Amino acid sequence: MDIVKASGETEKYNKDKFCRSIRAAGAPEGVVDEVCALVEKNLAPGMTTHDVFRKASKYLAQRNVPIAARYSLKHALGELGPAGFLFEKFIEIALQSEGYKTKRNQIVKGGCVSHEIDVTAWDNASYFLIEAKYRNKVWIKTHIDTVMYADARRGDIERATAHGKTQHQHISGVWLFTNTKFTATAVKYAKCRNLRLTGWDYPGRDSLQNIVVRNALFPITVLPSVNGYVREKLAEYDMMLARDLAPYSDSDLAHTFGIEQGRARRIAGEVAKLMYGGG
């Protein structure tokens, strides 16, 4: 059966590919088989890849919230911007979780112009200028032009450094983060120019996906019961991560954020399962 991709193109439904995505989220074989069978049973002509994703997410959430969160993580990151959250703030938290000290929105002088840097990050050995490139269309890859732009900014800042025109005399380089995949040419150029990249699945164990999972930095958008209204209310209070909600009981969620009691109860339960384990 044909399904419609996010780009508008159609492709044949690939059961093996879909089941691999469930397995990659950490689901045991029994759950993989069950969810794959349920989704396949409910396929219909004209269904989109997003429809398939939503059905799979729903089935997984009913069985195991942590697995459902890992499965939906890429899409959840893509919903941060429309929900009113800043991707550069998310990256700052990720860097802090990895042991870096950080500052956001710094102005750094270049040889020709000054540059507003999303985040600066440093430890005892290195000082990086961070570029945070966010896409809410998570299927669109980050291309070489974005990497070349970061390289050009680095070059201008290095010219200022060489002439003593900037306070940052020990810059280790530019580090580009994105929530999507990089193209092969973008990675090749970055390696040639010694630029550091972190994307959805790159580089290996230090990809954005793996950084998020190992530090439990799940955005609130992975929680099945967080709808658009709740996202907007939590954004008003700068509550971006599921762990930010962990100290709140369902009554606290209802009274503090104006969330309907039944939904607040479901959210509190999902947060507990995600942060403390269990199905």
- Per-residue pLDDT of 171-186, as tens digits, reads 888 999 999 999 999 9
Answer whether residue 169 shows pLDDT above 80: no
- Residue 238's domain comprises 220-276
Peptide bond into 82 cis (omega under 30): no
Last residue of a domain, one of 165, 194, 214: 214
CB 179 within 8 A of CB 135: yes
Q: Which helix (H) or strand (E) holds 147?
A: helix 144-162
Q: Tell me what the mean pLDDT of segment 11-29 comes to.
A: 91
What tokens were used for 94?
Answer: 């990720």
**Lowest mean per-residue pLDDT among 13-27, 79-93, 200-214:** 79-93
pLDDT of residue 94: 97
The answer to whether position 74 is within a domain reads: no
Q: Tell me what the mean pLDDT of segment 235-257 comes to.
A: 94
The whole-chain average pLDDT of the chain stands at 90
Report how far residue 108's alpha carbon sits from residue 127's, in angstroms, rounded to the nearest whole number. Answer: 13
Do 189 and 241 have their domain in common? Answer: no
Rg (C-alpha) for the chain, rounded Å, is 21
User: Which DSSP string do the residues of 63-115 spell out, in sequence order?
Assistant: H-HHHHHHHHHHHHHHTTTTTT--HHHHHHHHHHHTT-EEEEEEEEE-SSSEE
pLDDT of residue 217: 96
Do 129 and 233 have their domain in common? Answer: no
Answer whether residue 165 shows pLDDT above 60: no
109-162 confidence digits (pLDDT tens): 898 999 999 999 999 889 999 999 999 888 899 999 999 999 999 999 988 876
Q: How confident is the model at residue 6 (pLDDT cuts 50, 70, 90)?
A: confident
**Residue 267's domain is classified under what CATH number?**
1.10.150
Q: Tell me what the mean pLDDT of segment 43-52 comes to.
A: 87
57-103 confidence digits (pLDDT tens): 989 998 899 999 999 999 999 988 876 688 999 999 999 999 999 99
Place of tokens 């590919």: 17
The answer to whether position 37 is within a domain reads: yes
Residue type, 80: L
Do 97 and 179 have their domain in common? Answer: yes
Last residue of a domain, one of 161, 195, 214: 214
The answer to whether position 51 is within a domain reads: yes
CB 158 within 8 A of CB 112: no
Straight-line distance from the first to the last Cα atom of the chain, in angstroms, rounded to the nearest whole number = 32
Last residue of a domain, one of 21, 47, 63: 63
Q: Which helix (H) or strand (E) holds 133?
A: strand 127-133
Domain count, the chain: 3
